[in-house]
Structures are given as structure tokens and as C-alpha cells.
Structure 1
């Protein structure tokens, strides 16, 4: 046994076991996110059953079973439920009943003892609505301008055709509101700022005033024409409605303009469920959020995360590489350089929220305020860059990840053999030529490694971004067709903050649970995609310079 301990084998087994446990934990977490995240989009069957209320009345229940759990019967008796005295365990089920605007609550726990027989009627329909969450019920009549046009067996097919038409009209409405009207408003604001700028400079003439008035009048006429077209579409999209019968027998009329998607899960085949699943996943990726981010898609959050990481990479890479080159190749060795290196290493351990506070105080208020007073005085007191936005969020993350890039680049430069430097100098190259044409290209893979680590950390950060540019809901994307096309001053959405907001700030925790897993899944996949792209570039550069060296 002593010989076995002296051989070092126990430490090998200990390290191997620790690595194995770590891998199992990582893959277990990923498996949990995958199952819960991908399961969010599957059209689950809807249950119809009865529930005996405490007062003895029987209530009809229509809903989707979300989860079941087994509890001790004593804990439920303490909660006021009348369970048999000899019962030890009891099962309760969480049903998503929807219809929040009708019943006031859309998730209810029900104990199995008080539930009747479970059935799955094929005529139950589920509506995904733009407001008030999902709706469960049985279609009764289809209305057009208040008149019944379909009922019975022919109702569902006609309803699907009209719903497709309604969604196309709604997409046109949203396109007009977000793009056409937004473009006119943007140009109107430019006219106002141009006139204000001329007033501040003292160059405003009567001719210029007439020109500004003419531009404003032309834009007002364009806006009026767009508004007329929008009003016509709004009137058209509100034409159709459907009457639904809910669990207690009441009839509720729902306009088709309020419905995003509709399906009958109990009447769907496996193939149709797979098709619905793919469509729902696509809508989640490319759609816009609704209902305080608890419904709809996450495209603005994905777009904001990618753009922020790209801008951060463009900022941090040259600064980090140049700083590392100076520290390794040009700086004089001594106590000052040691102090700088210690500061860089300590900077990597500073909590991220401290960077957020610094970014808010220095970047936003000091630099942003100076930029506004120098280049955008006509917009004051409304800030342009003196408020949190995309550029300041990217700059704060660049400062946060700068030590990683510096250290990785320095290590890459240190691994270049001195014989390569001496060979280049012996052939007549200057120190600068040796550095930029020989040493730096060979150290490029190490620089890319630093960038990969920076991307992995920056994409998942949340705390500093809450202070310097990320918001709960951003009405417009930071890139559009208006000059200068990339609007670095705008606020953005972010997947990490979206997860925090939905998971901890949502008024409907049960509805948000599945969405949190789905968003976390997309964030993990996005980070993997960004890292794989950087790794492919690094490997290509490594093979390129290896081939040139051979």
C-alpha cells in the first residue's frame, strides 16, 4: 500500500475522478437545458376532466398537464385538503388552463384524489394570443363582421384560412409601424435637429426656414398617406372573430387579430406535431417578445447579443494585441513593468459589476456627455451618447475582457523561439520587420485563443450590461436602413438579461419556466457557434503559418 501511494497512482485516480465528475455535471446540465428547452415547443395533448372543489361543487377542467409531483398526505391535510386518514402519499398535478382573462389564473395545482376521469377530446383548440397568454376551449362559431359564416365540421378549416389571412395583414401592419412610420419619424427628427443646429450656429435664414417647413410638410403628407393605409389594414384585420366555449360552458368571442397561432393537439398526428414543432421553434428564434417577455420570440435579444459581441471583439482585439506586444517586445524590464503586469492580472479578477459602474460613470456620463455637448448640442437636453447604449456596453465588455487577450497574446509571443528572431535579424530585417512580419503572424493563434475566451465570457455577462445599455425591451434594432445604418447609441436586448428578466421579474413564474430553459439553450448554442467560428479561424491560421514555415 505504501508503495502504491509513493507511486503517485492515487493522485492520478483522484484527478481522473475529478475530471470525470466535472464532465458528467457539465453534460448533465446541458442535457437538462436541452430537454426542458426543446420540450417548450412541442404541442402537448390537452386534458379534459372534472375537479371536486372544497365546497362540493364539480368543476369542469380543460388544460395542459405541465408536471406532477408526489407529496406527503399530511402536508396537504395541513393545507386544508380533506384526504383519507390512512393515506400516506398524494399526487398533485399542475395544469395550464390558460384563459387568464376569463378565470383570472392560468396555472392551477389539483390533487389527484379530487380529479375525475381524464379524456382527450379531439375538438379542443389551443390559441396562442398576442395578449393574455394561451386560450383553451372548443370552437363554436366563426364570425365575419358579426355574422356567423361557419360552424360544425367545416369551421376549423375555414378558421385556419382566415387566421392565415389575419396574420399576413398583421405582419403588414407591424411592418408599417416599425419601418415606414419609423422611417418618417426619423426623418422628421432630422429636420428638427438640422433647424436647431442652424439656430445655435446663428446661420438660420428665412430661406432655410422655408426649406425646413417644406421638408416637414412633405413628410407630414407622407405620414398621413401611411396612416390612411394603416387604418384600412386595421379595419380589415378586425373583420373576423371566433366564438369559443370554455370549460364552464360560457362562450367567449375572440378576434382573429388577437391570435398568433392555433392548433388542436389532440387531433394532430405525429408528423403534423413535428411540423408544428419546427414552425414554433422558428417563430421563437425570429419572432419578437410579447407579454412582458413571457411570450413570443427572442430575435431582438439574439441580434443584440451578436452585435454587441462583434463590436466588443473589434474594440478589444487591437488594444489587447498592441498592449501585449509593447509589454513583451518593447517595454523595459523592471519594477514598473512588473507592477503593470500585476495590475493586468488583478484586473481579470475584478467583479464584473464594478466594470459596469465604471462604464456608467466614465463612459456614459463623462465621455458620452462630452460627445453630446461637442457634436450633438442641437439634441440637448435629450442625450444621444450620454445615455447607456450599444457602444458603451461593448466598450465596457472590452475593458472587462482586455486582460484575457493581453495574457494570451503575451504567452503566444513568449513561445516564439528566439532563434527565429535572430535568423530574421541575421538576414537583414529590422526589429520592426521581424516583429510584424515574422513573430506576430506566428503568434496569431494565441491571439485568437484570447479572443475566443473573451467572446465566451462577454456573451454570458449580465450584471455590467444592466447599467450600460441593455434593457428589458428595445423597440428598434441597432441596425436599420437609416444613416448611419449602425446606431451605436441605441439600447439593445441581451439573451443573458432576458433570462434574468423572465426568470426572476416575470409576473407569471410558471409560464416563464419553460421559456427560461429555451432562452438558455439558445444562449449556449450561440456561444458555441461564436467560439467554433473563432476556433476554425485560429486553426486555419495555424495551418497556414505551419505550412509556410515548412
Structure 2
């Protein structure tokens, strides 16, 4: 009976079902972990005040957020140097985010549960999110204006909130003037410098051109001085106010409001307040720029760079992949050479991605980009324009990496188109090109979209080649802005995959970076799912459109 059962093939069906189920469970488990750790990072945690005994007879106060708990067996704890009592089976430790890194030198610390004498949640404990040095935990003492106390005690909190709102408004004005207005002026001045050098290289620099460029420079410099005066006034305004706060050890520190993002008291927040806070933090994460070595703030430049690179890669890889597949399937003579090309294409799909990155750096960046600079941008020398890693070369490199997937999928789609369709079109008087363009390719378009979906899924998550051909830790400007020609293909960009690598493995503050790794991973998964869903919807629409013809 067992032998017959094996011969029937049923065991292999169950084995495959078990393998697929195990894979699905692991995928769901990983996504669940990323979802819980990533989405939960933005929820405001309560701030705890511990009475902690570090030494015999010495009690100190520790303030912070309870982040994690570690339970270690007694035997293992003893081997690491902890003294354990006979009745202790485990060593329980709490990871506390105590903040105040500029004062204590560290954001996080481990404390022993057995040394905690008391823990409470006072309403007056506050959290200050700062642009530098991470969070501050303590109590608000007073608010100062130009060094003079204007509110303290119970009156300090509403005044601090009002002054912070004013400071944030001024900060946004400063950021707008510096990045948009002053940035546009600096860009125009640089373009004028390059234009002057180009005219000099072409021996076309004369008094007329000199007068024109000097007039344009004078106009831009006048605008620059006007904005500088506005910025100087705004900087004086934003540096006016400061907070006086008390730390856990009782010392007082003064924190300028221009270094503060927000202040809140989580122990007094209602559920609605926490939901609002959570929404604001998520929006900030999606729309702001990173700060604090990418461990704080948002990741909008990485989102923008990832989506733009994938879209450019799709535009490049689709026509080349389709043309190659059409030639191999419809025009090339089927023989040894064609089979060899197909084998080579299939093998290219298994080449490690870093090899494509090295090829892109050597050929696209140094050879192609260097020659473009010599031919079209000699005035920029010795600074490279296209002879350096950038968005264009990253997109082309990933298009080359995903080209085999598109070719194979498109060929399979072309092979599934019934021969009768082609013969019927030719019999009605259509040429081969018309048959291909108006009949065969539309019916094979779902397979093309399948190839594009696979290409997008792989390209969006690639990191290794991008490290060589354009991605950076922090991009000063986006590849798309308001300066002509608006889309700057030569600029470097940020990428979600590289951002995860950088935050997770290159951050000097590992504990602070860990939640952002989960949050960014979750966002990368959502971006890939969103891009794929868009392509799947288009593919399903095309499949339904041409289903009748296939039948």
C-alpha cells in the first residue's frame, strides 16, 4: 500500500504543499514582525521614573522610556559576571531610552529589575525632540526670551508650546528661503560661471558677453543680499527663545527653541492625543528629510529617489527587452546561434548584481560619462557632470540587470499567441510588421507586464550595484526641482534599500536606529507592493481585453 501510495505521486503533492505553506508562514511572520516593530515606533510611549539602587545605600533617579526587556538564565548570567542569589532563576534587565546624550554620553542603558525600588509615571515628565543629540527627558522649569525668564512653573508649559509654534513657523520660512530662493540663486550663479568659461573656451568672450553676464550676476547678487537680510532677521528671531529644563539628576540645562522639533508630555496624553501624535509622526516620517545621521526625521528623499529610479529603469528596460524578444522569436533564424543567445540571456539573470554595479561604474560612468563630459561639458572640468555616479547611470545599470527577465517573459508571451492569429492577419492583407504591431504584441502585452513586474520587484530592492553607480547616504538636493532642466539625471540620490543598510549597519547609535530599520523596511515593502499592484492592474486589464482573441 505504501509503495502504491508513493507511486501515485500523492506524497510529493503533500510535500510541495507543506513547503509552500512553510514559506508562506515565514513570509507572513517576517512581514508581521516588520509591521509591529516598524509601525509601532511612532506611538508615544509613557515616560517612567525609576528609583534605582546602583550601589549599596545609593538610590538615584532614572527617567526614560521602557524599550525592551531581556531575560537571561541564571547560569548564563553568572558566566557573564553577574552575582545571582540562590533563589534567582533568571536575570531580568530593562532597556531604557534615557536620552540626554549631550549630558550623559549615551541614549540607552540597561538596568536590573531587582535593583528597581520604585517606578512611577509623573504627569510633569516631558519629552523634547531635538534636531541634534536626540531626545531630552526631564521637567520643564521655565521659558526664556533673550536670556530673561518670561514664564515658569505652571505657566511655563502653555508659553513653551506657543513659542515653539512660532519658532517652527520661522524655521520653515528659513528652510524655504535657503533651499528654494537662495538655492535657485546659487544654481543660476553657477550656470553663469559655466557659461562664461564655455564662451572663453570657444573664443567668443567679448565685451558684449562680459557686460551681459556681469549684469545678470549683479541682479542675482542683489537678490541674494535681499534674502540674506531676511534670513539674518529670521535667525535673530528664532534664536531669541529657549527652554530651561531639569534633568533626572536635578541639574538644569538651557535648550534653544531653534533646536527643538516638538515637546509633549506623554503621561498626560489621552488616546485621541496619542492617535493625533502618531499620525503627525507618520506624516513627518514620509515627508521630511533625515537628520541625526539618518536616525531621526523622515525619509522622503529616499522614497522619491527609489520611485524615480524604478520608473526610469522601467522606461529604459521595457522597449529594449521587448525589441530583443521580438527579434529572437519573430525574426531571428532559429538555429545554434539563437539557442546560444537564449542560453546567455538566461545565464545573465543569475549573474550577481554587484557585477552589474562594477560594469556600470566602469563603462557607463567612467567611459560613457567621461566622454560625454569631454564632448558637451568641457567648461565644467575638472569637476565631472556625467562622469560621476548619478541617477541616469543607476537606472541604466538596473535596466541592464533586469533585462533578461523582461526578454524571457516577453518571449513566452509571444510563443503563446496562436499561429492562427498571425496567419489570419496575413491572409487579410496585413504586412508582417502590421501583424506584429497591431495583433501579436497587444496579445503578448500581459506577459510583458509580468516581466516588468518582476523587474520592478527586483530593482526596487537592489542595493549592491547602486552603491557604485549613484546612491548616497544623504543627497543635498533632489534630482527633480524647479531649476532648468528640472530633471537632473547627473545628480546622486537616496534609496530606501541603501538607507536600511546605512541605518542598520553604519549608524553610530544602533539602538536608536533599530526602529527606523523596521519602519523603512515596512515602507520599502509597501512601495514595492504599490508599484507591483499598479503593473498587475494594467496586466489584468490587458488580459481581459484580449482573452476573447486567445479563445
Could you give the per-residue CA deviations for residues 312-360 of structure 1, whole angstroms, max 9, x where no partner exists? 0010000000010001000111111111111101100000000000000
* 1:36 correspondence with 2:45: no
Alpha-carbon distance in structure 1 between the residues aligned to 2:490 and 2:55: 57
For the structure 1 residues 248 and 99, does the alpha-carbon distance in structure 2 shift closer, same or farther, using more than 3 Å as the test? same
Please give the residue correspondences for 1:272-311 in structure 2 after superposition, counting only pairs within 5 Å: 272-311=273-312
1:76 Cα shift? 3.5
Could you give the per-residue CA deviations for residues 374-416 of structure 1, whole angstroms, max 9, x where no partner exists? 0000001100000000000000000000000000000000000
Could you give the per-residue CA deviations for residues 151-202 of structure 1, whole angstroms, max 9, x where no partner exists? 2223222211211111111111111111111100100011101110000001
Q: What residue is the counterpart of 1:256 in the other structure?
A: 257
Please give the residue correspondences for 1:28-427 in structure 2 after superposition, counting only pairs within 5 Å: 28-54=29-55, 56-427=57-428
Q: What residue is the counterpart of 2:529 in the other structure?
A: 528
1:4 Cα shift? 2.1
Q: Which secondary structure does the structure 2 equivalent of 1:117 belong to?
A: strand
Could you give the per-residue CA deviations for residues 460-513 of structure 1, whole angstroms, max 9, x where no partner exists? 000000000000000100000111100000000000000000000000000011
For the structure 1 residues 549 and 404, does the alpha-carbon distance in structure 2 shift closer, same or farther, using more than 3 Å as the test? closer
Q: Which secondary structure does the structure 2 equivalent of 1:329 belong to?
A: helix
Alpha-carbon distance in structure 2 between the residues aligned to 1:78 and 1:13: 46
Q: What residue is the counterpart of 1:507 in the other structure?
A: 508
1:74 Cα shift? 4.1
* 1:25 correspondence with 2:38: no
Alpha-carbon distance in structure 1 between the residues aligned to 2:542 and 2:339: 31
Alpha-carbon distance in structure 1 between the residues aligned to 2:81 and 2:533: 55
TM-score for the superposition, normalised by structure 2: 0.98
Alpha-carbon distance in structure 2 between the residues aligned to 1:248 and 1:74: 35
Q: What residue is the counterpart of 2:430 in the other structure?
A: 429
Alpha-carbon distance in structure 1 between the residues aligned to 2:478 and 2:172: 17
Alpha-carbon distance in structure 2 between the residues aligned to 1:166 and 1:543: 56
Alpha-carbon distance in structure 2 between the residues aligned to 1:24 and 1:82: 41
Alpha-carbon distance in structure 1 between the residues aligned to 2:78 and 2:107: 24
Alpha-carbon distance in structure 1 between the residues aligned to 2:38 and 2:120: 27
Q: Which secondary structure does the structure 1 equivalent of 2:68 belong to?
A: strand
1:55 Cα shift? 6.5
> Does the CA-based 8 Å contact 2:418-2:550 persist in structure 1?
no
Alpha-carbon distance in structure 2 between the residues aligned to 1:58 and 1:80: 22
Could you give the per-residue CA deviations for residues 117-176 of structure 1, whole angstroms, max 9, x where no partner exists? 110011100011100001100111111121222222232222112111111111111111
Q: Which secondary structure does the structure 2 equivalent of 1:316 belong to?
A: helix
Q: Which secondary structure does the structure 2 equivalent of 1:332 belong to?
A: coil
TM-score for the superposition, normalised by structure 1: 0.98
Could you give the per-residue CA deviations for residues 41-74 of structure 1, whole angstroms, max 9, x where no partner exists? 0001011012222465322100100000111234
* 1:472 correspondence with 2:461: no
Q: Which secondary structure does the structure 2 equivalent of 1:219 belong to?
A: helix
Q: Which secondary structure does the structure 1 equivalent of 2:118 belong to?
A: coil
Gaps of 5+ in 2: none
Alpha-carbon distance in structure 2 between the residues aligned to 1:202 and 1:427: 63
Alpha-carbon distance in structure 1 between the residues aligned to 2:152 and 2:549: 75
* CA RMSD of superposed structures (Å): 1.3
Of stretches 40-49 and 140-149 in structure 1, the one that deviates more from structure 2 is 140-149
Alpha-carbon distance in structure 2 between the residues aligned to 1:245 and 1:458: 49
Q: Which secondary structure does the structure 2 equivalent of 1:492 belong to?
A: coil
